Amino acid sequence: MITKPSYDALIIGSGPNGLAAAITIARTGRSVLVLEAKEQIGGGARSAELTLPGFTHDVCSAIHPMGLASPFFRTLPLARYGIEWIQPEFALAHPLDHGQAALVARSLEVTAASLGVDAVAYTKLMQPLLDNWESIINAFLGPLRPQTMLHPFKIAHFGLAALRSASGLVQTQFKGAAARAIFAGMSGHSMLPLNTPSSAAAGMMLGLLAHAVGWPIPRGGSHKIVDALAAYLRDLGGEIVTGVEVKSLDTLPPARVILCDITPRQLLRIAGSRLSGLYKRQLEHYRYGPGIFKLDLALDGPIPWSADACRRAGTVHVGGTFNEIARSERAIWRGEHPERPFALLAQQSLFDETRAPQGKHTVWAYCHVPNGSDVDMGERIEAQIERFAPGFRDRILARHTTNAMEMERYNANYIGGDINGGMQDLTQMFTRPTISPTPYSTPDKSLYICSSSTPPGGGVHGMCGYFAAQAALRHL
């Protein structure tokens, strides 16, 4: 229930970025109201029993290296509000044929040792990043700003490599199949073809985070993150009201500033009359990327991976060699649905006993598809897993699938199934949603955008909301 006639700040959307914006403003003692269209808060960080009773599945986000590394989250007392991070033995495993697998451990030395001929090359690439990881995170988890260049020599090694294509970096750095496959999978998170400039950025960042903070799992489900944020916000005096879909800004309670955890397409729909012609045209040209197809499974036992490393990792990248993954990701940009998709898989229940009944397990997996796809990729994902884990299909108790358009219906920010809030290539990395020194601002000085359509983009880190709130506080 809305309790005040007016507020200092009104936030539309209760995803991690919306809640981060609300907390940042509430910490200054100002009144804050968060409105959420769904009955449950969380946006991309929700959990639910999607398959069978007692099986807790993460609906969207699952593994959270950016949550643990986030400069904003690290200022919050999240542990006091129930967040417990679980670190699997290995952050990542990548199965190859003939029972082999590459791995990424928290230890750089252990990872390098597993890569054989590329041990020295991998260490040479990652050690300078690890030595300066906090400076790199602070520089790149946000918009371009003077602080970005406070330590130019510390971040240059990362920045120069991140601008490259994943294909180019792999061809010059690595000789063996293991290191090439590992980097292909991590770079595949970019949802870009691997021969595209800046596609290496995701691989560099995720590799760095694996060694710096790990790829942790929140005990109990991803919803625990937003539950903690919401509880902290309420203790600061903030209010959250669910079940309120905002169709026009004109229907909102009076507020000095409004922050929107939505993408440009929705902003145009609810705030068109407040935006200038030039800004509206810029938003109309904002580009969305590929969608995803999501597969959730309840299993009668753990996945019977052929490679032992895969049984000890929280995340498994299922796609085979670098060339196989590159072909799969390139096909999507041609509007095709690959027969052998690159699948990103998490097996939280191996490390978190709260996710499934004793002896049972959950599987969280998705692959990339063309934007707006309604094709069911479940059989193809299962075939890829079976390829590296013979007998896996015999353990399936129940399935739940979500195609790209169903993802958009679940969360209006996922336009065409795009979970990143827009394409994150070189031209839309820091200039999202428009080219501006303050990309969170709009021509209306009381209106801001705080979603993953702003820097630093997708991920559960709250930094988009934090920076948008800082811009709004300057106006307040």
Report the pLDDT value the prediction gives residue 10, as an integer from 0 to 100.
98
Q: Rounded CA gap, 407 and 421, in Å? A: 12
129: pLDDT strictly greater than 60: yes
Contact in structure between 361 and 302 (CB atoms under 8 Å):
yes
Report the pLDDT value the prediction gives residue 141, as an integer from 0 to 100.
85
Report the pLDDT value the prediction gives residue 248, as an integer from 0 to 100.
94
> Which architecture characterizes domain 85-217+290-410 according to CATH?
Alpha-Beta Complex (3.90)
287 token code pair: 């580009």
383 token code pair: 């075939």
Each residue's pLDDT tens digit, 344-386 = 999 999 999 999 999 999 999 999 999 999 999 999 999 999 9
Q: Rounded CA gap, 413 and 12, in Å? A: 12
402 token code pair: 């979500």
| The dihedral formed by the CA atoms of 337, 176, 170 and 184, expressed in degrees to the nearest 10 | 30
Question: How many angstroms separate the Cα of 233 from the Cα of each of 221, 226, 397?
Answer: 20, 10, 39
How many other C-beta atoms can be found within 10 angstroms of the C-beta atom of residue 153?
Answer: 9
Sheet holding 255-260, edge to edge: 239-242, 32-36, 7-12, 255-260, 447-449
Each residue's pLDDT tens digit, 63-83 = 999 999 999 999 999 999 999
* β-pair partners for 102: 94
Contact in structure between 302 and 449 (CB atoms under 8 Å):
no
User: Going by C-beta distance under 8 Å and a sequence separation of 6 or more, which residues neighbour residue 359?
Assistant: 300, 301
Contact in structure between 336 and 370 (CB atoms under 8 Å):
yes
Report the pLDDT value the prediction gives residue 1, as an integer from 0 to 100.
73
Each residue's pLDDT tens digit, 276-330 = 889 999 999 999 999 999 999 999 999 999 999 999 999 999 999 999 999 999 9
Report the pLDDT value the prediction gives residue 354, as an integer from 0 to 100.
98
Each residue's pLDDT tens digit, 254-270 = 999 999 999 999 999 99
Residue 367 falls in which region: left (phi positive, over 0), alpha (psi -120 to 50) or beta: beta
Phi, psi dihedral angles at 441 (to 5 degrees): -85, 160
Query: What does 320-353 look like in DSSP terms, one character per residue?
Result: -SHHHHHHHHHHHHTT---SS--EEEE-GGGT-G
Contact in structure between 312 and 90 (CB atoms under 8 Å):
yes
Report the pLDDT value the prediction gives residue 37, as an integer from 0 to 100.
96
Q: Hey, what amino acid is at 104?
A: V
Report percent pLDDT > 70 for the chain: 98
Rg for the chain, CA atoms, rounded:
21
Please indicate whether residue 291 or residue 138 has the higher confidence score (pLDDT): 291
Mean of the pLDDT values across residues 402-407? 98
Handedness of CA 388, 391, 397, 403 (dihedral sign): positive
Q: How many residues can be counted in the chain?
A: 476
36: pLDDT strictly greater than 60: yes
Q: Rounded CA gap, 400 and 295, in Å? A: 6
| Largest pairwise CA distance in the chain | 67
Burial tier of 422 (Cβ tally within 10 Å: 0-12, 13-18, 19+): buried
Q: Domain limits of the chain? A: 7-43+222-286+420-475, 85-217+290-410
Mean of the pLDDT values across residues 221-227? 97
Burial tier of 176 (Cβ tally within 10 Å: 0-12, 13-18, 19+): middle
The band of 134, judged by pLDDT with boundaries at 50, 70 and 90, is: very high
Report the pLDDT value the prediction gives residue 148, as an integer from 0 to 100.
59
Report the pLDDT value the prediction gives residue 384, as an integer from 0 to 100.
98
410: pLDDT strictly greater than 90: yes
User: Going by C-beta distance under 8 Å and a sequence separation of 6 or more, which residues neighbour residue 272?
Assistant: 280
- Same topology, domains 7-43+222-286+420-475 and 85-217+290-410? Answer is no
Task: Write the DSSP symbol of residue 441.
Answer: B
How many other C-beta atoms can be found within 10 angstroms of the C-beta atom of residue 444?
Answer: 16
Mean of the pLDDT values across residues 459-463? 96
Least confidently predicted of 131-135, 204-208, 214-218, 296-300? 131-135
149: pLDDT strictly greater than 60: no
Domain 7-43+222-286+420-475 has CATH 3.50.50.60: yes
Q: Rounded CA gap, 465 and 22, in Å? A: 8
Least confidently predicted of 94-103, 386-395, 428-437? 428-437
User: Going by C-beta distance under 8 Å and a sequence separation of 6 or more, which residues neighbour residue 119?
Assistant: 112, 113
152: pLDDT strictly greater than 70: no
Each residue's pLDDT tens digit, 7-16 = 999 999 999 9
Mean of the pLDDT values across residues 219-244? 98
Least confidently predicted of 2-6, 204-208, 308-312, 316-320? 2-6
Each residue's pLDDT tens digit, 155-194 = 888 888 888 999 999 999 999 999 999 999 999 999 999 9
The band of 143, judged by pLDDT with boundaries at 50, 70 and 90, is: confident
Report the pLDDT value the prediction gives residue 161, as an integer from 0 to 100.
86
Question: Beta strand pairing status for 217-218 and 85-86?
Answer: antiparallel
- Give the residue carrying structure tokens 């991803």: 222
Of 172, 178, 255, 188, the closest CA to residue 4 belongs to 255
